Amino acid sequence: MHVRPEGIDLAARSRARRRALQALYAWELSGSSVEAVIAQFRHEQDMEVADLDYFEDLLHGVGAHVAELDVALRPHLDREVEEVDPIERAVLRMAAYELKYRLDVPYRVVINEAIEVTKRFGADHGHTYVNGVLDQLAGELRTAEKRG
């Protein structure tokens, strides 16, 4: 188990991101509220092995800021946000939220986690696209951190 000095279980965070991706995908397809999707995932998924607080923060954060996140992503995409593969779109929104609002998470961790979750759930080369978009977005949102 990888635990950061602050007591954060990194493996549980990774599992929370995987569950959050699945929940964001379900949220977009179903049109349900974020709260309904969280309740469904709590009931159906084994959330004991994930960081539930982080999972909920990702869902609430993306749900509350989705329009703003799409605006931030748009200049770095080669197509409209709505035309991006639904899994990749969910990953990009989740990572954009982390880059913009979770400054406690290093940008390299955000990008690496996004790549890994896209490899697991996305299209064959989707992780390459996600990497390129997020690298540009990190340069914009985390300029000082990226330079350092």
57-93 residue pLDDT tens: 999 999 999 999 999 999 999 999 999 999 999 999 9
Domain count, the chain: 1
CA distances to 45, 103, 130 from 48, in Å: 9, 25, 28
Domain of residue 121 covers 10-147
Q: Please indicate, yes or no, if residue 129 is contained in any of the structural domains.
A: yes
Specify whether the CB–CB gap between 126 and 88 falls below 8 A.
yes
Given a cut of 90, whether residue 146 has pLDDT beyond it is no
Q: Which pLDDT score, from 0 to 100, does residue 46 have?
A: 64
Q: What angle do CA 54, 58, 64 make, to 5 degrees?
A: 140
pTM, rounded to two decimals = 0.91
Q: Please indicate, yes or no, if residue 1 is contained in any of the structural domains.
A: no
Q: Please indicate, yes or no, if residue 5 is contained in any of the structural domains.
A: no
Q: Please indicate, yes or no, if residue 3 is contained in any of the structural domains.
A: no
Q: What is the mean pLDDT of the chain?
A: 91
Q: Please indicate, yes or no, if residue 4 is contained in any of the structural domains.
A: no
Specify whether the CB–CB gap between 127 and 118 falls below 8 A.
yes
Q: Rounded to an integer, what distance in angstroms lies between the CA atom of residue 87 and that of residue 22?
A: 8
- Pairwise pLDDT comparison (27 vs 8), residue with the higher score: 27
Q: Please indicate, yes or no, if residue 125 is contained in any of the structural domains.
A: yes
How would residue 136 be classed by pLDDT, with cut points 50, 70 and 90? very high
Q: What's phi and psi for 9, nearest 5 deg?
A: -80, 105
Domain CATH code at residue 82: 1.10.940.10
Q: Please indicate, yes or no, if residue 98 is contained in any of the structural domains.
A: yes
